[in-house]
Amino acid sequence: MINTEIGPTSKWHFSMKTSLTVVLEVRMSCEDCAGVVKRALETMEGVESVDIDLQEQKVTIKGYVQPDAVLQIACKAGKKATFFQYDIFSPFK
């Protein structure tokens, strides 16, 4: 007999992870602030890289992460953080 049921109890069930890029706007005033944010985000499971543009107040996180969890960690680092809003009338940077 062939098992055609696909679901959490099926032996055929599998979890597929997808790598994401999450971009946050984080209020940082200096290199020390940027370091605090970077270290906090790098401790998250699944994070592959954290790039910070201090001048743009932009933090780019790549990895197998959930965007809401990334935002929460940035806020717990003591910084005001939101998802980065792109201006639809200008090209992406």
Distance CA 23, CA 50 (A): 10
Q: Which portions of the chain are predicted below pLDDT 70?
A: 1-16, 86-93
pLDDT recorded at residue 2:
46
Distance CA 77, CA 88 (A): 29
pLDDT recorded at residue 74:
95
pLDDT recorded at residue 86:
65
Number of separate helices (H) and strands (E) present in the chain: 2, 4
Of residues 40, 35, 29, 30, the one with CA closest to residue 75: 40
Choices 3.30.70.100, 3.60.15.10, 3.40.50.2000, 3.40.50.2300: CATH for 20-83: 3.30.70.100
pTM (2 d.p.) = 0.73
- DSSP, res 72: H
